[in-house]
């Protein structure tokens, strides 16, 4: 059996925010879930709290 390092949780969002995420996702040709994960990861990196692979950041 495969083990994953992903958390599955419900997320309550304002409808206007979700609509914005849908538009961003469509522009980037990715899912809303992937867009949320990207934005949260970038925010964590920007705050200095992300301890993951720093080579994937586009902040340079």
Q: Which tens digits make up the pLDDT trace of 6-60?
A: 888 899 999 999 999 999 999 999 999 999 999 999 999 999 999 876 555 454 4
> What local confidence, expressed as pLDDT, does residue 49 receive?
94
b/e burial code for range 34-46 (CB count within 10 A of at least 16 → b): ebbeeeeeeeebe
> What local confidence, expressed as pLDDT, does residue 60 receive?
43
32 Cβ contact partners less than 8 Å away, ≥ 6 residues apart:
18, 21, 22, 25
> What local confidence, expressed as pLDDT, does residue 56 receive?
52
pLDDT at residue 3 is higher than 90: no
């Amino acid at each position: 059996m495969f083990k994953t390092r992903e958390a599955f949780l419900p997320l309550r969002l304002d409808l206007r925010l979700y609509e914005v995420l849908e538009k961003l996702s469509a522009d980037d040709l990715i899912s809303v879930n992937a867009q949320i994960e990207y934005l949260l990861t970038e925010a964590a990196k920007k705050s200095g709290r992300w301890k993951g692979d720093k080579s994937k950041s586009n902040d340079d």
